[in-house]
A and B are shown apart, each in its own frame.
Chain A
Amino acid sequence: MATVVNIMLIDDDPAEELIFRAQMKKVVNYDINMLYAACIDEAVAMFGKGAAVDIVLLDNRLGPGEDFRESVPRLRQSGYIGPIGVISSSLTDPYFQSFAEYGADFRIDKAEFDPTAISFLIQEYAPR
């Protein structure tokens, strides 16, 4: 029986939810239960209701002028101490280099996000 892993995607673009959900279905050996939140408030509310989440994948830009430097601390303030990965279509901005200072665990380009990468992230951050 495959191990169940709960991954929360926080992304304001519903199309990304479809894409990520399709990628996660291709992962073998893990049964991924994907939770989706369109904004930080929604994610924090889900945590408040006791959502069990093994890994958070957080879109870098959830709104104009907002990036992970604001959103990751808000997730941490809600009491979530699991791994947070920042996802973006480009990691070239210099501020990505300081992701750890803001409480994130890793960064990954959306183009790199394939079933192999998902499997690695689970083994690295949510081993059973």
Chain B
Amino acid sequence: MTLQLKNQCPGNYQNELAKAVNRVDFFRIFHSMALRAGFEHFCLMRLFADVPAPTLSTQLELHDLPAGLAEAYDGRYAFSESGLFKMLQETTLPTYWIDADGTQDELMRQMGFELALCIPVQGLNGSRHAIIFLGDRDVPNMELLHAIYYDAAYAFDFYFREILANKKGMGLTPRELEILKWISHGKTAGEIALIVSVSEHTVNSHTATILKKLDVVNRTQMVAKAIREQIIP
């Protein structure tokens, strides 16, 4: 149950989270969460994926930063050298970074924000992520901080289960079966989009989900396994 606060309440997102089905829905929720709490932006990032020198742009999973900002940052600075990144290696505690008392991280200064609120979170499979809210507001009071931490962690859990979770072994939906059938007929994504009356983007998204569910790595292996397991004739 989400905390109920007056005034600066970041809101109860339970209904919206229960309805969220794609990245745009989650973008809307996290973006709204940031704005309602007086921040300007949010970043949801993966932590410590198997990348030798993680950059900001490669770690970002979902965000509302201006286009090109992360890439511009990476062009000038090393994300792995930032205090925030180092802190995330040392603790799973939520933290905030401010300008006023010298605790501002280089990352914040370099990106042009005065306050960052960092909330480490964890997926069901143990994978580590962090949600960071960025803006120029004052440090929220403790009541609001608790509410933001709670809502962000709650939203991430939905996001993980709906978008990030490995769906290996889960059954295919009728739409996924239809797309799998047309792939096995040698149709391209664009052709399938025309046949099924969806966008090419949706076809590619379904294809990625089928790959996950069948635990295969490409379309050829996907069709071979589907035939072998009699999912398609």
Contact = CB atoms under 8 A, between A and B. Distances in A.
Interface of A: 28-30, 73, 76-77, 79, 81-85, 96-97, 100-101, 103, 105-109, 112, 116-117, 119-125
5 contacts: A28-B66, A82-B200, A85-B24, A116-B64, A120-B24
Interface of B: 19, 21-25, 27-28, 31-32, 41, 64, 66-68, 175, 190, 193-194, 197-202
B35 to A, nearest CB: 9
Contact of A103 (B21, B24, B41, B197): B197
Nearest to A106: B24
A100 B27 CA distance: 17
A119 B66 contact: yes
A96 B16 CA distance: 12
Contacts of B64: 116-117, 119-120
A30 B67 contact: yes
B196 to A, nearest CB: 8
B27 A105 contact: no
A54 B66 CA distance: 19
B31 A83 contact: no
Contacts of B22: 100, 105-106
A76 B64 CA distance: 29
* Best-surrounded residue of A79, A103, A108, A116 (most CB of chain B within 10 A): A116
B197 A97 contact: no
A108 B29 CA distance: 11
A96 B22 CA distance: 13
Nearest to A85: B24
A103 B200 contact: no
A121 B25 CA distance: 11
A107 B26 CA distance: 11
A122 B190 CA distance: 19
Given A30-B67, A105-B24, A116-B66, 19 more contacts: A28-B66, A29-B67, A29-B68, A73-B197, A79-B194, A81-B198, A81-B199, A81-B200, A83-B199, A97-B19, A100-B175, A100-B198, A103-B199, A105-B198, A105-B199, A112-B28, A112-B31, A120-B27, A123-B67
A100 B41 CA distance: 28
A81 B194 contact: yes
Contacts of A97: 19, 21
Nearest to A81: B193
Contacts of A85: 24
B125 to A, nearest CB: 24
Contacts of A107: 24-25
B67 A28 contact: yes
Q: Which 4 A-B pairs have the closest CB atoms?
A: A106-B24, A81-B193, A76-B197, A29-B67
Nearest to B68: A29
Nearest to A56: B199
A105 B197 contact: no
A77 B198 CA distance: 10
A81 B24 contact: no
A29 B19 CA distance: 31
Contacts of B67: 28-30, 119, 122-123
A82 B199 contact: yes
A83 B175 CA distance: 17
